Chain A
């Protein structure tokens, strides 16, 4: 029984460069089949996986670039925001300083006014005190003079006049003294 596929026992046909016969058609068919097999294998083992890998990497890098771009945009926004804040802070600082200056000036004015009022009050009270002291001293002086005059007069009268004249003189002296005091 012959097998379906068998090596021919005949001598090998002579080689050739080109021919147009059944063997050429068979060769074309085999080469076409080989081509299809090679295309399928290369496509599924090499071409598509490598392309997929490169596409994924491109997407990944693009994603990173997009993230970097968006981060950069956010950073720029933040910089702009901070710049604006810094500018506003300068203005704010100027405002606060100006307000503090005005407040300080007002406070200073108020303190000066209060000090003035207080000084006036102290002055007034001092004047009152001086006046009172003056009055008191006047009274004390008057009483002292009266006492002293009385003593002098008493000594003098006791030596030179009797009691009647003494009383009269005393009364006159007192009256004169009082008049003189009140006129001062």
Chain B
């Protein structure tokens, strides 16, 4: 395990060099597993019982808890964007959980967190203009037009802060665990790291996922109202 995000392949597309990084590969891996689970759930959905149990219970709980959370945070009016954040929620937390198995979390790469934060920024602007129209633009000039630069910077800072918060937190876990594995003798590399993984990957991962999603939803809701 190294601190660096390794490059696995370099491909040229029409003269443009593209690095296929460990992050991108791990993202595809996580995507593949999540899609596989989704396909299995979709196949099993036909035989889902009236009273859920086992696998059905887990799937229903994930969807229902997230849907209630998204609808309560966004309101009914904006609930149609919930599927995007369902993906963000599942992907970010899966990334953290897969770290337990030594797979470097894609969210420990700023490119990933910024991509997600940028999507939030785009959604925030589009929801603001869609639901508030001119009022949203006017809010950039309030309470006085002189504040426009500050308001603009404030808005632009949102995806930056959002992406760096998640990136920093996930990277910190990766750094601490890398240091632990690199600096300790082999004897203490069994058992104890499980606690560190449980804390940095499972607990911090869950907290950071929640924070990222709820802040994103709040930005969008504030822009739309």
Contacts and interface: CB of A to CB of B under 8 A. Distances in A.
A50 interface: yes
Contact of A31 (B16, B39, B67, B115): B115
Contacts of A43: 83-84, 86-87
B176 interface: no
Contact of A46 (B7, B38, B119): B38
A86 to B, nearest CB: 40
A34 B26 CA distance: 11
Interface string B12-27: 1110111101111001
Nearest to A25: B111
A27 B48 contact: no
B34 interface: yes
Interface stretch (B56-64, B141-149, B213-221): B56-64
B34 A31 contact: no
Contacts of B12: 5-8
B110 A39 contact: no
Given A30-B24, A42-B38, A42-B90, A53 B83 contact: no
Interface string A11-42: 01111111000011011111110110111011
B114 interface: yes
A149 to B, nearest CB: 127
A17 B60 contact: no
A31 B63 contact: no
Contacts of A37: 31
A27 B34 contact: no
A160 B173 CA distance: 182
B118 to A, nearest CB: 7
Contacts of B27: 31, 34
A57 interface: yes
Chain B: interface residue count, which band? 35 or more
B3 A17 contact: yes
A1 interface: no
A53 B45 contact: yes
Nearest to B14: A4
A39 B83 contact: yes
A145 B118 CA distance: 159
A10 interface: yes
Among A16, A18, A30, which residue has the most Cβ atoms of chain B within 10 A? A30
Contact of A49 (B17, B31, B42, B84): B42
Contact of A26 (B8, B19, B50): B19
Interface string A127-161: 00000000000000000000000000000000000
B162 interface: no
Contact of B38 (A10, A29, A41): A41
Contacts of B87: 35, 38-39, 42-43
A82 interface: no
Given A12-B10, A49-B42, A54 B23 contact: no
A35 B116 contact: yes
A168 interface: no
A5 B9 contact: no
Given A6-B11, A27-B21, A35 B42 contact: no
B135 interface: no
B106 interface: yes
Interface of A: 4-8, 10, 12-18, 23-24, 26-32, 34-35, 37-39, 41-43, 45-51, 53-54, 57
15 contacts: A5-B11, A6-B11, A6-B12, A12-B8, A12-B9, A14-B4, A23-B18, A26-B18, A29-B115, A31-B27, A32-B118, A35-B116, A42-B35, A42-B86, A49-B42
List the 9 closest A-B pairs by CB distance, nearest first.
A15-B4, A27-B111, A43-B83, A39-B87, A31-B115, A8-B10, A15-B6, A46-B38, A32-B115
